[in-house]
Amino acid sequence: MIPTGTATIIAMTVINKVPKKTGTDPNELEPTSCSEVIAICGFHEVPKRKSNGLTKSKNRKASNKIETVTAIVIITPIPAVADNAKVPALSIFLLVRKFMKKFKENLMRKIRLFVAQNNLSKGTTIKLCDNDFDYLVKVMRQKIGDIFYVFNGLDGEFEVKIVDIEKKNLRAQIERKISDLIKSPNVTIAFAPVKNVRTDFIAQKATELGVSRFQPIITQRTIVDKINLERFRANVKEACEQCERNDFAEIFAPKKLDKFIGEDAAKNKIFILCDESGQAQKASKVLPNIDFADREIVVLVGPEGGFAETEFLQMRKLQNLYPISLGPRILRADTAMISALTLVQEFL
C-alpha cells in the first residue's frame, strides 16, 4: 500500500498540471493553478462517472485483489484554462490513473518479507505459512512464478520466485541476491513501556528511524511493567518490511533502570537523556560536541509522568551522560522518542 504522504505528493504533483482545454491529450500538459483542490488518492474501484462530473468510490477491503489502482481528483471550483472551458475532473482522473498504474507495478515488485531462516543463498528453498502465506496469496494474490523479496537480517536481501502453492503454505526458491546486509546505526532506544497501542507505535517508528536495539526499562513511575515481546517483534518485522531495511533490530527483555545503567558495559556507551526537567541544553548545542566514535548510543526516554528526581540524580552521575532538551513543551513518550532519534541521527 502506498503511504498516505506519498499519495498526497502524487496527487498534488498531478493537479498542478492540467490539459489546456477540454479534449487535450493528457500527455500535452502545462502548469496551471486551482482556487481549491481536494484530492483523494488510494486503491479504489470506480463506478460510472456521475452527471455532475464528480466521481465517487467505495473503498475496497485490504483482503480483496487489487484490480484497479486509481485516484480521484475533485476540483471545486477550477478556473477556465482556455476558451472559457473548464477542465473536467475525468481528464485529470485518467491522468492520475496512469501515474497510479506505474505505482501499482512498483508496488508489486516491492513485496518484501522477513524470514527467520539462516544461510540464505541462490537456490535455497523457503517455505512460508501462517500470516506470511495469507499475505502473499490471499491479500497480494501471488501465483506460481511471481517474484517477491526476502531478507533474514543476516545475509542481505534476495529475489525469490514462487514454485509451489498448497492449501496452507507455499514454497519459493531464491533466484539471486540483490543487496548485501546494510547495518543500521549503532543506536539503542531505552524506553519505559506504555500502553499497547503506543508500544506498537514505538516499535514501528523506531524501526523506521534505524534503531538497532530495543531495551524496555522499568522506572519508578512506569505504569506498564511488562511487554508482549512476540507482539513487539511482529511490529518490528512489519516495519522492516515496509521501510526497506534488511537488518533486524534486537529486542531485549525489560530491565530496571538502575540495573541497566549500572552494568559494566554501560561505561563504554553514550547515553542521550531526554530531559523534561528544564535543566538541559538544546540538542543543537549538545550533540555536535559529542565524539560518537563508533560507540553504542543509548537514547533514554522516560515513562508517562517522567523520571523521578532520584532517577535523575542517579543518571547524572554517569560521566558519559548527555541530557538534551526537546523543547518547552512536555511530550508524550512516543513523540519524545521520535524527536530524539531524529536529532541524534543527524550527527551520526
Tens-digit pLDDT profile for residues 135-183:
999 999 999 999 999 999 999 999 999 999 999 999 999 999 999 999 9
Give the position of cell 551520526. 348
Please provide the average confidence, as pLDDT, over all residues in the chain.
77
- Using DSSP's 3-state secondary structure scheme, residue 258 falls into helix
Q: Is the pLDDT of residue 38 over 50?
A: no
Of 58-62, 85-89, 204-208, give the lowest mean pLDDT range.
58-62
Q: Is the pLDDT of residue 1 over 70?
A: no
| pLDDT number for residue 89 | 60
First CA to last CA distance, the chain: 31
| pLDDT number for residue 272 | 94
| pLDDT number for residue 93 | 65
Helix (H) or strand (E) holding 243: helix 229-243
Q: Is the pLDDT of residue 68 over 70?
A: no
Question: Is the Cβ–Cβ distance between 89 and 53 less than 8 Å?
Answer: yes
Residue 36 to residue 177: CA distance in whole angstroms: 48
| pLDDT number for residue 196 | 65
pLDDT digits 0-9 by tens, 267-277 = 899 999 998 87
As a whole number, mean pLDDT of residues 78-84 equals 45
Q: Is the pLDDT of residue 29 over 90?
A: no
Cell of 95: 491522468
As a whole number, mean pLDDT of residues 88-106 equals 62
Residue 250 to residue 253: CA distance in whole angstroms: 10
DSSP state of 69: -
As a whole number, mean pLDDT of residues 104-132 equals 83
> Strands 17-19, 29-31: parallel, antiparallel or unpaired by DSSP?
antiparallel
Q: In the structure, what pLDDT confidence band is assigned to residue 101 with cuts at 50, 70 and 90?
A: low
Q: Is the pLDDT of residue 59 over 70?
A: no
Residue 193 to residue 255: CA distance in whole angstroms: 11
Instruction: Tell me how far CA of residue 198 lies from CA of 6, 192, 299, in angstroms.
Output: 24, 11, 17
As a whole number, mean pLDDT of residues 323-333 equals 87
| pLDDT number for residue 45 | 36
| pLDDT number for residue 205 | 93
| pLDDT number for residue 122 | 92
Beta bridge partners of 161: 147, 173
Domains detected in the chain = 4-105 (no CATH), 112-179 (2.40.240.20), 187-345 (3.40.1280.10)
As a whole number, mean pLDDT of residues 212-225 equals 91
Cell of 201: 507505535
Q: Is the pLDDT of residue 70 over 80?
A: no
| pLDDT number for residue 37 | 40
Cell of 337: 522518542
Cis peptide before 77 (omega within 30 of 0): yes
| pLDDT number for residue 50 | 39
Q: Is the pLDDT of residue 67 over 90?
A: no
Q: Is the pLDDT of residue 80 over 70?
A: no
Q: In the structure, what pLDDT confidence band is assigned to residue 133 with cuts at 50, 70 and 90?
A: very high
Residue 210 to residue 28: CA distance in whole angstroms: 42
Q: In the structure, what pLDDT confidence band is assigned to residue 100 with cuts at 50, 70 and 90?
A: low
Residue 170 to residue 327: CA distance in whole angstroms: 51
| pLDDT number for residue 41 | 43
Question: Is the Cβ–Cβ distance between 15 and 87 less than 8 Å?
Answer: no
DSSP state of 43: -
Q: Is the pLDDT of residue 15 over 90?
A: no
CA angle 193, 307, 290 (to 5 degrees): 95
Cell of 76: 471545486
Taking the CA atoms of 41, 234, 154 and 348 in sequence, report the sign of the dihedral they define.
positive
Q: Is the pLDDT of residue 52 over 70?
A: no
Three-state secondary structure readout of 183-231: CCCCEEEEECCCCHHHHHHHHHHHHHCCCCEEEEEECCCCCCCCCCHHH
> Bigger pLDDT: 308 or 47?
308
